Amino acid sequence: MLTAEHNFNLMVIFIREQLQQFAIKQGDKPSCNLVIPLTPFDLLGLLKGQSLDSDALYPRIYWEDIEHLQTIACFGAIDECTYIPEPIGEACYFGGLAFQQQGVQWADFPEILFIRPALEFTLEQQKLRLTCHFNGANSIEKSLLLINCLQKPVSPDAVNNIVVSREDLPNRQQWAELVESAIEYKALIPKVVLSRQTELICEQKVNQWDLINQWQEANPNSFHFAFQFSTNHTFIGCSPERLFSRENNRLKTEALAGTVNRGREPREDAILRQSLLSDKKIDRENYLVQEFIVSSLKRLKAEVTCSEPHVMQLLNVQHLRVEINAKLNAQTKDAHLLHNLHPTPAVGGCPKLPALQFINDKEHYNRGWYAGTVGYLRVDKSDFSVAIRSALVSSNKIKLFAGAGIVVGSIADQEWQELENKIHTILDILSV
């Protein structure tokens, strides 16, 4: 019986042979991609298996969409853009936009960063393929080097760590003052989304791949992502919120705003679910997001329709959700969509500019890529998640992020509890 390691070694030999044959046909610097079908295996395990900190294997990216249609693992880069690229041909770019300019802790994550990977493993409809990206500048030799650096997959394990300290920024008293200050601005800013960073120091180094594996098992109905651009930090997330998904000129987006926790038993859960659909404060909070998205799309000359509100249930919380569909103008690019829709009032506030200014002036830390947007874009399709329910992992530290929309009627203690509910899954995984 062949071992998993032997099968992996055979796969590497097969990939090398395919690249060498491709070089004979296309030359050492091809201008088109090579797609190689492979026997499926666990892509998170592949990412975990790369224990050698080889510079050649960075960036390392993991992506799974909310519908579980695609799971992707990327290694290396043949192109890097600090602007939103416009893909041509077979190009595909992965990356994101920050919510704010990066501070010291976000040194690896500039305001805008997109990379075209060298190696892209994609699992789709239970079939796995490796796309070796080429653009006429990078060589077959470089791709062979990356393949030779790859180590065999290692199965994810249960997170086995102990949290030794926790620090909230802002703390509870500062949060109460922040909420009170936001409500004082209600005439100028009907809604502002305030957030908190919770830093956990663990006894041992945190394995980000084990952590995201358990996180996505707990909340499967979410986008799952990890962006690691160096050995220093990995930004991971398990986000329920889509910024937009585009297939040619058809667009899907949503207003996801308004939150209550899950009930302890079915009857309480149903009562809380109904409160999302009938609460005037929550309805107002969600409507502000809808209004912003619809008006932004109409400015781009899109035809827009909205669904009836419904409830999205997650492990510890449930949200009010309105699906929005649009037919885009032929001239609309992904860059137009990203610049117009990001950040939505679901993570910033409304009106947009005064809310963002309030956050810049008043919040106690820099959000960086938290509440930004992450995803990928290519000619025929793009898919972006709002980077909430996210964490920044570095050595033995985890920085968790959570936000809450503040409107007239918000109560600081209740909003604090909402923040707790939103990070509860990770705290459970770590057995805090």
The CATH number linked to 367 is 3.60.120.10
- Nearby residues of 163 by Cβ (< 8 Å), 6 or more positions away: 200, 201, 202, 203, 430, 432
Provide the percentage of residues in the chain whose pLDDT is more than 70. 98
- Is 143 found in the same domain as 176? no
- Is 229 found in the same domain as 144? no
- Is 101 found in the same domain as 216? no
Average pLDDT over residues 212-225: 95
- Is 250 found in the same domain as 210? yes
* Domain contains 155: no
* Domain contains 122: yes
Q: Does 303 show up as a binding residue in the annotation?
A: no
pTM of the model: 0.94
Q: Does 285 show up as a binding residue in the annotation?
A: yes
Catalytic positions are 191, 241
- Is 168 found in the same domain as 125? no
* Domain contains 259: yes
Instruction: Return mean pLDDT, the chain.
Output: 93
| Total number of domains in the chain | 2
Residue 103 has pLDDT above 70, yes or no: no
- Is 92 found in the same domain as 142? yes
User: What pLDDT does residue 1 have?
Assistant: 46
Domain boundary among 116, 149, 182: 149
Domain boundary among 122, 149, 176: 149
Q: Is the dihedral of CA 236, 324, 252, 336 positive or negative?
A: negative
- Is 116 found in the same domain as 58? yes
> Binning pLDDT at 50, 70 and 90, where does residue 4 land?
confident
- Is 425 found in the same domain as 328? yes
- Is 403 found in the same domain as 369? yes
In terms of residue numbers, what domain contains 288?
163-429
What's the pLDDT tens digit per position in 34-83? 999 999 999 999 999 997 666 779 999 999 999 999 999 999 999 999 99
* Domain contains 3: no
Residue 3 has pLDDT above 80, yes or no: no
* Domain contains 341: yes
3-state per-residue secondary structure call for the chain: CCCHHHHHHHHHHHHHHHHHHHHHHHCCCCCCCEEEEECCCCHHHHHHHCCCCCHHHCCEEEEECCCCCEEEEEEEEEEEECCCCCCCCCCEEEEEECCCCCCHHHCCCCCEEEEEEEEEEEEECCEEEEEECCCCCCCHHHHHHHHHHCCCCCCCCCCCCCEEEEEEECCHHHHHHHHHHHHHCCCCCCEEEEEEEEEEEECCCCCHHHHHHHHHHHCCCCEEEEEECCCCCEEEEEECCEEEEEECCEEEEEEEEEEEECCCCHHHHHHHHHHHHHCHHHHHHHHHHHHHHHHHHHHCCCEEEECCCEEEECCCEEEEEEEEEEECCCCCCHHHHHHHHCCCCCCCEECHHHHHHHHHHHCCCCCCCCCCEEEEEECCEEEEEECCCEEEEECCEEEEEEEEEECCCCCHHHHHHHHHHHHHHHHHHCCC
- Is 100 found in the same domain as 179? no
Residue 105 has pLDDT above 90, yes or no: no
In whole angstroms, give the CA distance from residue 224 to residue 64. Answer: 5
Domain boundary among 149, 178, 206: 149
- Is 253 found in the same domain as 125? no
- Is 216 found in the same domain as 124? no
* Domain contains 323: yes
